[in-house]
Amino acid sequence: MAKWSPVPFVLGPVLGALPWPKYFKVEMSREGEWMNYFRELHRWLPFYKSTYAHAAAILAAYDHTIADVPDAAKPRTINFSEGGVDPSKFTLPVRQKKDKMTVLFVGRLVPFKMPEVLVRSFAASSILQQHKLIIVGDGPERPRLDRLVEEANLSECVEFTGTISQDRVGELMRECEIFGFPSIREQGGGVLTLAMMSGMTCVVVDYGGPALRVKSGCGVKVPLGDLDHLVKHFTQELEQLVVDPDRVINMGIAARRYTETYYSWDAKARKTLEVYNWVLGRQEKKPDFWEQPIASELIN
């Protein structure tokens, strides 16, 4: 219909197209992702090419999604992250230095989220065992994680909450200091936005959505690798954080400031208005989601 309508058509935000890391083919099989081998067939679906051809602008979240957009449409494609937050719903806690810190994981207990990396990191470190790991969520990986905790005698420092209310998740994000999120195929990572708005320091894998959401100085990014590689690097990074509470507190404050600047609904609304003005010819400069807002915008 966009082909015949005089009204400009904006597509998106679209998301997806993140390849499975080569190190985790077994996890891909355990996830039942056999259709992944056939995903390129979507390019032959009816109206795929014409949809992109007639869109005045395409909002695509993250570089891996933009790479999948047809080349002819890339000049009209804007890196526009999905989702947003209402800052009034998130109270930034005043964190105090603690001798015992808590690492929090929130998510489905499924293979690609890799919560076992955190359990194995605690198992490998006498330093981390002086602190605490809380795993929120449920899923098919829970029995295996229970066995790992039992085999490593970690019951004193690892807690499983199962599925809990959103209010309780929010409380935990304000109470805990570090958010551990070793997902190896996270398209977006909206939970990181919530953690960062709560002033948490995030430790993530430098791949997919988390690689963009967690900026330098707002958290820690571990290079992608196989399971042993991730366990080694998560262990090292978590050990460095738990002995440096000042760094954890400061990065959490920076994470809140960064997330509020770019992911608040007010900020998203301003950028959306820029997109509309651009496609209507009222603005010459192509919108840039990651452009630093001017001071007056932050005040207003």
Whether residue 1 lies inside any domain: the answer is no
Asked whether residue 166 falls in the same domain as residue 269, the answer is no
- The count of domains in the chain is 2
265 pLDDT higher than 70: yes
Asked whether residue 91 falls in the same domain as residue 61, the answer is no
The Cα–Cα gap between 224 and 229 comes to 8
Asked whether residue 98 falls in the same domain as residue 64, the answer is no
The Cα–Cα gap between 164 and 156 comes to 21
> Residue 238 is part of a domain; what is its CATH number?
3.40.50.2000
State pLDDT tens for residues 52-101: 999 999 999 888 899 999 999 999 999 998 889 999 999 899 999 999 99
Asked whether residue 52 falls in the same domain as residue 20, the answer is yes
Asked whether residue 97 falls in the same domain as residue 180, the answer is yes
Asked whether residue 76 falls in the same domain as residue 33, the answer is yes
Lowest mean pLDDT among 6-10, 114-118, 153-157, 296-300: 296-300
Are 219 and 197 in contact by the 8 Å Cβ rule? The answer is no
Q: What is the mean pLDDT of the chain?
A: 91
Which of residues 50 and 119 earns the better pLDDT score? 119
Per-residue confidence (pLDDT) for residue 291, from 0 to 100? 84
295 pLDDT higher than 70: no
Whether residue 270 lies inside any domain: the answer is yes
184 pLDDT higher than 60: yes
pLDDT bin (cut points 50, 70, 90) of residue 26 is confident
Whether residue 4 lies inside any domain: the answer is no
39 pLDDT higher than 90: no
Asked whether residue 170 falls in the same domain as residue 48, the answer is no
Asked whether residue 99 falls in the same domain as residue 192, the answer is yes
201 pLDDT higher than 70: yes
Within 8 A by CB and 6+ apart from 48, the residues are 42
Asked whether residue 91 falls in the same domain as residue 31, the answer is no
Whether residue 5 lies inside any domain: the answer is no
State pLDDT tens for residues 205-264: 999 999 999 999 999 999 999 999 999 999 999 999 999 999 999 999 999 999 999 999
Within 8 A by CB and 6+ apart from 97, the residues are 245, 246, 249
Asked whether residue 215 falls in the same domain as residue 104, the answer is yes
Alpha helices by DSSP H, listed for 125-264, are: 142-151, 166-175, 190-197, 209-213, 227-242, 245-263
Per-residue confidence (pLDDT) for residue 255, from 0 to 100? 97
Domain that holds residue 179: 87-261
pLDDT bin (cut points 50, 70, 90) of residue 16 is confident
Per-residue confidence (pLDDT) for residue 154, from 0 to 100? 98
